[in-house]
Homo-oligomer: A and B are copies of this chain.
Amino acid sequence: MNDFTYYSPTKFVFGREVADRIGPEMAAAGFGKVMVVYGGGSAERSGLLARVRSSLEQAGIAFVEKGGVRPNPEVNWVRDAIALARAEGVEGLLAVGGGSVIDASKATAFGIPYEGDVWDFFAKKQPIESCLPIAVVLTIPAAGSEASGSCVISNDAENLKLGVAGDVFRPKLAIMDPTLTFTLPAYQTAAGVTDMIAHVCERYFSGVGAVPVTDNIAAAIICALLEAGPRALEQTDDYDARATIMWSGMLAHNDLAGCGRSLNPTARAGGWESHGLEHELSAHYPEIAHGAGLAVIMPAWMRYVWRSDPERFLLFASDVFGIEPAFEECESTEEAIEDAVTAAIDELQAFFQSLGMPKTLGDFGLTPDDVDALIDTLRLSKGEAFGAFQKLTMDDARAIYLSAF
């Protein structure tokens, strides 16, 4: 087990109709005037924003509002929000939404106390040292941003989508009401489940050997999602399935599933190769849902790299899918291992497809000719090589993209 720090200080209030408790919970946590951040019109149409406003008013929490966060939130929205928050004397953020809304809120929350341009943090010109407190009412379980030290923002002008990491902007409070997700479109539910499984896998395949308790927990989370995902699609108001997905999505990304798996004790475990490859996709094609991109990229990445550590993939095959190598039935040990690993990757990809996720980059309308442009911006964000499980050069990245057609 490698050395690590683990810090997940968010208070979680989880259950039926807890959205109505946002006001008193924020008051108890000491929040002052907040900016309520949301995305498109769904939070308004569903009545959720009205409930949030009412709860805040009853608890005596002053607020201003800023909506319009798009999927793959853009830095110019964040700049506008920072200006508004400063003008209004905002002391904290309340994100009402999913990963995009939360990430936009996080960037606003650490952008406000910083004198320079907020993109400096994403361009790694500046470490993030200060941040206003953040609360969340989660509506889309997927990104795990309600507890993570992650924030990803797009910059359209530069064709970039970059992330930052840090404990200072982990939310203080997360209100998690699975009933809010009954009305999520199937595609979004499926993309969310895919993203969660990817968050666990990025840490699981981190280039570090077995860490039994963490590996067991990783399998525990993935297995719960394999079971709950299809149930939530079959019956959209299955509370237990929705609750399992919502809670698993948090656990998948608050770093619990990475403890002892990091090469650097103060950094997140894993090389995040699939996320790196996928982020270029959704930076270039904002209509591609992050989870849908991962459903294509992650299996392609796995098929490309598994030979770097077959033992790791065999453990995954066994603990997640109950697949063992059939040494007796194969001509060689190598063949048995390859069969088992391939079967596990096939199962994972088939699961994503069973949820309605795409299988190839062609399903998004891309052609192999589009890959060069992805590599150009990948090089800008990652340099000539990246990854922890297996170092990927730009040629490797190109080969993975091409293998996904």
**Contact A14 B5, beta carbon cutoff 8 Å:** yes
User: In the complex, what residues of B have CB within 8 A of residue A6's CB?
Assistant: 11-12, 14
Task: Return the chain B residue nearest A251 by Cβ.
Answer: B213
Query: In the complex the two chains form, what is the Cα distance from A18 to B3 in whole Å?
Result: 9
Binds B, one of A186-194, A236-244, A298-306: A236-244
**Contact B247 A228, beta carbon cutoff 8 Å:** no
Query: In the complex the two chains form, what is the Cα distance from A377 to B164 in whole Å?
Result: 56
Q: Does A327 contact B (CB under 8 A)?
A: no
Contact-residue bracket for chain A: 35 or more
Task: Return the chain B residue nearest A225 by Cβ.
Answer: B213
Contact with B along A207-223 (1 / 0, CB 8 A): 00001111011011101
Task: Return the chain B residue nearest A14 by Cβ.
Answer: B4
Number of copies: 2
Task: Return the chain B residue nearest A25 by Cβ.
Answer: B5
Task: Return the chain B residue nearest A5 by Cβ.
Answer: B13
User: In the complex, what residues of B have CB within 8 A of residue A227's CB?
Assistant: 212
With A217-B217, A224-B216, A227-B212 in contact, do A244 and B13 touch (Cβ < 8 Å)? no
Q: Which residues of chain A (1-44) have a CB below 8 Å from chain B?
A: 1-16, 18
**Contact B11 A5, beta carbon cutoff 8 Å:** yes
**Contact B260 A243, beta carbon cutoff 8 Å:** yes
User: In the complex, what residues of B have CB within 8 A of residue A52's CB?
Assistant: none
Q: Does A139 contact B (CB under 8 A)?
A: no
With A213-B221, A216-B221 in contact, do A243 and B1 touch (Cβ < 8 Å)? yes
**Contact A244 B14, beta carbon cutoff 8 Å:** no
Task: Return the chain B residue nearest A220 by Cβ.
Answer: B216
Query: In the complex the two chains form, what is the Cα distance from A12 to B4 in whole Å?
Result: 8
User: In the complex, what residues of B have CB within 8 A of residue A243's CB?
Assistant: 1, 260
User: In the complex, what residues of B have CB within 8 A of residue A15's CB?
Assistant: 2-4, 265
**Contact B3 A244, beta carbon cutoff 8 Å:** no
**Contact B1 A240, beta carbon cutoff 8 Å:** yes
Query: In the complex the two chains form, what is the Cα distance from A243 to B212 in whole Å?
Result: 10
Task: Return the chain B residue nearest A2 by Cβ.
Answer: B15
Q: Does A259 contact B (CB under 8 A)?
A: yes
**Contact A213 B248, beta carbon cutoff 8 Å:** yes
A397 CB, min distance to chain B CBs, angstroms: 33
User: In the complex, what residues of B have CB within 8 A of residue A247's CB?
Assistant: 1, 213-214, 259-260
**Contact A12 B1, beta carbon cutoff 8 Å:** no
**Contact A7 B11, beta carbon cutoff 8 Å:** yes
Query: In the complex the two chains form, what is the Cα distance from A6 to B250 in whole Å?
Result: 12
User: In the complex, what residues of B have CB within 8 A of residue A214's CB?
Assistant: 247
Task: Return the chain B residue nearest A243 by Cβ.
Answer: B1
Query: In the complex the two chains form, what is the Cα distance from A10 to B9 in whole Å?
Result: 7
Query: In the complex the two chains form, what is the Cα distance from A228 to B8 in whole Å?
Result: 25
User: In the complex, what residues of B have CB within 8 A of residue A14's CB?
Assistant: 3-6, 259-260
Apart from A1-B243, A1-B247, A213-B220: 8 A-B pairs, beta carbons within 8 A: A4-B15, A212-B223, A212-B228, A212-B244, A216-B219, A216-B221, A220-B220, A256-B256
Please, could you name 23 A-B residue pairs with CB atoms under 8 Å apart, sorted by A?
Answer: A1-B243, A3-B15, A3-B18, A4-B14, A5-B14, A6-B14, A8-B9, A9-B9, A14-B259, A212-B223, A212-B240, A213-B220, A213-B221, A213-B224, A213-B244, A213-B251, A216-B224, A217-B220, A217-B221, A219-B220, A243-B260, A247-B259, A247-B260
